[in-house]
């Protein structure tokens, strides 16, 4: 399939828990195509962040393979991973992870080599023009998360990964933030994966998987 962006094959991951090994991901397979918005739900501690961090090349699986846009990236040497992350992946973290000493617009220009016009277009598209010259400390939680989303979209990465993007937001703001991710996937033909335990935003996803005992179960 040519338009497959993310292909995770037979991913295993376990952590040592005292004397025992605890299997967090148990032969997980996941395929996400361009233009598709996938949600993965499951209770706290079930392995959602572990899965997303492996998809985002921030953590190695114990075994299995990761393909991005047809390239087996998990086989590449570790020092290439940073470049792959920067070019192919936009990551939205649970706690925004904005840099405190940069204004909102500057958070993006680090990535876009100061292409002011493109940043302005992106901010206005997301309805956050007014935040351009604000520091994170002066923003609300929802505003910070929207800037973090703009940053993830700015690099034109083929894959968007979002780890509980609504965790710190009320239901209206949470819904709005997830709408932004859905729109980016549909309009710009990106692949997006969101992990969450927030059932209120699942209506926006094209596909939903449930994480159960280290496996993904198709639920829509």
Ligand X SMILES: Nc1ncnc2c1ncn2[C@@H]1O[C@H](COP(=O)(O)OP(=O)(O)O)[C@@H](O)[C@H]1O
Residues engaged in binding ligand X (CB under 6 A): 15, 24, 42, 44-50
Rounded to whole angstroms, the Cα distance separating 27 from 63 reads: 9
Beta carbon nearer to ligand X, 58 or 69: 58
Q: Which of 13, 33, 38, 49 binds Mg ion (CB under 5 A)?
A: 49
Q: Is the dihedral of CA 153, 154, 159, 161 positive or negative?
A: negative
Beta carbon nearer to ligand X, 25 or 160: 25
Q: Which candidate, 81, 101, 106, 90, places its Cα nearest to that of 165?
A: 90
Selection from Mg ion, ligand X, none that 73 binds (CB < 5 to 8 A by kind) is none
Shortest separation between residue 97's beta carbon and ligand X, angstroms:
16
Eight-state DSSP code of residue 158: S
| Structure tokens given for 14 | 């376990």
Contact indicator for 69, 89 with CB cutoff of 8 Å: no
Shortest separation between residue 12's beta carbon and ligand X, angstroms:
13
Selection from ligand X, Mg ion, none that 145 binds (CB < 5 to 8 A by kind) is none
Shortest separation between residue 197's beta carbon and ligand X, angstroms:
8
Q: Which candidate, 198, 66, 71, places its Cα nearest to that of 145?
A: 198
Site mask for Mg ion (CB under 5 A), range 17-46, x = bound:
------------------------------
Look at strands 4-17 and 20-33 and give their pairing.
antiparallel
Shortest separation between residue 43's beta carbon and ligand X, angstroms:
7
Q: Which candidate, 163, 156, 196, places its Cα nearest to that of 52?
A: 163
Beta carbon nearer to Mg ion, 13 or 48: 48
Shortest separation between residue 52's beta carbon and ligand X, angstroms:
8
Selection from Mg ion, ligand X, none that 45 binds (CB < 5 to 8 A by kind) is ligand X
Beta carbon nearer to ligand X, 23 or 204: 23
The radius of gyration computed from the CA coordinates of the chain, to the nearest angstrom, equals 17
Look at strands 207-212 and 71-72 and give their pairing.
unpaired
Where along the sequence are the contacts to Mg ion (CB under 5 A)?
48-49
């Amino acid at each position: 399939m040519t338009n497959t962006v993310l292909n995770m094959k037979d991913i295993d991951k376990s952590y040592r828990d005292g004397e025992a090994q605890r299997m967090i991901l148990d032969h997980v397979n996941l395929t996400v195509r361009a233009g598709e918005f996938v949600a993965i739900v499951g209770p706290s501690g079930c392995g959602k962040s572990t899965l997303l961090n492996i998809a985002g090349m921030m953590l190695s699986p114990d075994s299995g393979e990761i393909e991005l846009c047809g390239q087996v990236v998990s086989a590449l040497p570790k020092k290439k991973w940073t470049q792959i992350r920067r070019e192919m992946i936009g990551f939205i973290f649970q706690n925004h992870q904005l840099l405190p000493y940069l204004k909102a617009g500057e958070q993006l220009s680090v990535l876009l080599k100061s292409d002011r016009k493109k940043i302005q277009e992106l901010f206005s598209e997301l309805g956050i023009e007014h935040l351009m010259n604000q520091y994170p400390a002066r923003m609300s939680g929802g505003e910070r998360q929207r800037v973090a989303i703009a940053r993830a979209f700015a690099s034109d990465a083929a894959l968007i990964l979002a780890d509980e993007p609504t965790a710190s937001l009320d239901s209206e703001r949470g819904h709005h933030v997830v709408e932004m991710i859905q729109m980016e996937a549909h309009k710009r033909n990106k692949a997006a994966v969101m992990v969450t335990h927030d059932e209120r935003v699942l209506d926006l996803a094209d596909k939903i998987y449930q994480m159960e005992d280290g496996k993904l179960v198709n639920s829509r």
